[in-house]
Every structure is written in C-alpha cells, then in structure tokens.
Chain A
C-alpha cells in the first residue's frame, strides 16, 4: 500500500470534530453556532476551540451579528477552506481505491 496519500492528509481537517464542522459547512452556505452545536452534539467550549483553529488557518469565516436583540454567530467555509476540504476528500477517495481488492 502506498502511504503517500495518507501522509498528504491535512492534519487540521483530519481531526473528527473539525472534519464534522467542515462537512456541515461544505453543504450549506452558512450555519449558526447553535445549529452546528446542536447538529454535532458538541459543547460550546469544544465547538469554539475547533472553530478558532479552523478560523486561524483561514478555512472558515465567522460573522457576528444580532437577531431579535440576541447575538448571532454564523460560520461559513472560505474559498481556501472549500479547496482544502475538496483536496481532503480527494485523498480519502484515493486511499479507498488503493484499499479495494483488485
């Protein structure tokens, strides 16, 4: 088995929680903090940590606004994040093809 694709996997996205956040955002224009938290059943602290890590890498953008006088935090994938996610999926597919018996 060629270990090359595995070594190329983006370690930041590869973590389970961050991968879940990226997957949800890849299929939606934007999601609020609470939508992500409820869908992924994460704690506020856990989700905040993952979002900060992805934001620092430039993979997601975070916008803060107000809705009905309550603060609303929404997240969306950036172009760089979408590209990194697509590359990650491509590598996973490559690994799957390698593992398939011929």
Chain B
C-alpha cells in the first residue's frame, strides 16, 4: 500500500471541499484590489474637490462598478486556472446573497443623490449599511471572517450616522471622501493583507 495514501486522501478532501465552498483563495486579491480602488477614488475625490452630492455619487458608483468587474475577472481567472466552472453552485449562492442588498443600496443612493435628499455623508451611511448587509449575507456561504467583516461595516455605518448628527449640530465641514476612502479603501486593504498572510501560512503548513 502506498504510505502516502492518507495524505492523498486529505488532499482530495481539501480540493472537494474548496470546490463545494467558495473561491477563498481569490478573496485576498479581490479585497486588495477593492482596497486600492477605494483609496484611489478617495484621493481623486479629495484632489479634484468632487464635493457636490452628484459628483460624489458618480465617482463612487463608478468605482463600485470597476470593483465589481474586477471581482468577476479575478474570480473567473482563478476558476480557469483551477479548471473549475466559474458559475459554480457556491459562486451562484454568493452572488444571490450579494445582489439584493447591493442593488438596494445602489438604488437608494442614486435616488437620494439625484433627488437631492441626501448629502455625501448620508450616502456614505447608506452605502456602508447595505454593503455590510451584503457581505454578511454572503458570509453564510463563505469563510467565517466575511460575516464579521460585514458586521464591522454595519457597525461603522451606525457610527457614521452618529457622526453625521454630531457634525450637523456643530456645523463642522468634512469631506465624505475621507470616510469612504477609509472604509472602502483602508478596511479592504487590511482584510486583504490579513487573508493574504493567513492563506500563505496555511499553504506552508
């Protein structure tokens, strides 16, 4: 009997579980690219003083569209590399979990921005809240960390709302690009770096 059969069995089990779960390995590059994009959008917004609610909404919705397209491309590239179907059952489930809150957030944001019901900080609150809900829903079909990451966004959105009440009462001017750049840039970069390091460690082990 081949003495390595147990190791081979474990490897097969790992491969099957990965195929059945979600592309966890692709999450690190996805998070890192989303983080870089978030930071870049924040810097562009600050540098070019895109402070009107319309300009703010257009910039960040454009960044979101690029982030979504990038996510699809990265996930697809990994699926091709692993000779797996891109639109596999777990990917479909994650997509189904993400879509309703993302669509609701985008729709509300657009309506609020173009009807003039909201300022950029309110848009930040709305997008953080719905994005957090989307990640939390998707987290049921992904690694456990994703649910926690979604919860962090939900908590931060509530903190942003409190912050909004505070700045309104104090008449303080603040660019919401700082908030968006931090939440969608720095947080994604931090989570991406964490995933990258832990995945590397797991591969070595």
Which residues of A come within 8 Å of B, CB atoms? 19-20, 23-29, 31-32, 35, 39, 89, 92-93, 95-96, 99
Contact = CB atoms under 8 A, between A and B. Distances in A.
A19 B13 contact: yes
Given A29-B140, A99-B3, A99-B4, A93 B20 contact: no
Interface in B133-169: 140-141
A50 to B, nearest CB: 14
Label chain A's interface by main secondary structure. Answer: helix
B89 A19 contact: no
Contacts of A23: 12-13, 16-17, 20
Sorting the interface of chain B by its residue count into under 10, 10 to 19, 20 to 34 or 35 or more gives 10 to 19
Contact of A25 (B7, B20, B140): B20
A99 B90 contact: no
A39 B1 CA distance: 28
Nearest to B84: A39
A92 B16 contact: no
B161 to A, nearest CB: 33
20 contacts: A19-B9, A19-B13, A20-B12, A23-B17, A25-B20, A26-B17, A27-B17, A27-B21, A28-B20, A28-B89, A29-B140, A32-B89, A35-B89, A39-B20, A39-B89, A89-B13, A92-B6, A96-B6, A99-B3, A99-B4
